[in-house]
A = this chain, B = another copy of it.
């Protein structure tokens, strides 16, 4: 509980700060990029810790399952609720109650702020996958808070 609050509060502060620091130049885009790249590096670090004693993954799907279960549970205290794939390199991870959105009002009022609250996590997933040898592009979308979907597009090398 305590740790979770610490992460949530710090995450919130980071968003506020990055938003203020990047303002003036261009608007949202730069802020999102910065948050995403912070997430990327944190994801890289975390996945190394988490997989230290894990056996080698069988394939890409096995890696994705690890992200949805172990990785997500460690960071957000719950699993991804639904994982779907087209078996051609696109995965959709759905979280029906995403932790970093639960602090925001569930109405449509703050929907425009949602991308800022998802950027770090997109980076987190991309960084984690990257250090498992899976290059990807990760985007997020919200239709009704606090549910959201992360789309992972694997980049074939």
A11 an interface residue at 8 Å Cβ cutoff? yes
Q: Are B9 and A7 in contact (CB under 8 A)?
A: no
A5 an interface residue at 8 Å Cβ cutoff? yes
CB-based nearest B residue for A4? B3
Q: Are B41 and A13 in contact (CB under 8 A)?
A: yes
Instruction: Name A's B-contacting residues (CB within 8 A).
Output: 1-7, 9-11, 13-14, 17-18, 21, 34, 38, 41-42, 45-46, 49-50, 74-75
Q: Are A7 and B5 in contact (CB under 8 A)?
A: no
Q: Are B41 and A9 in contact (CB under 8 A)?
A: yes
Q: Are B75 and A9 in contact (CB under 8 A)?
A: no
A10 CA to B46 CA, complexed, in Å: 10
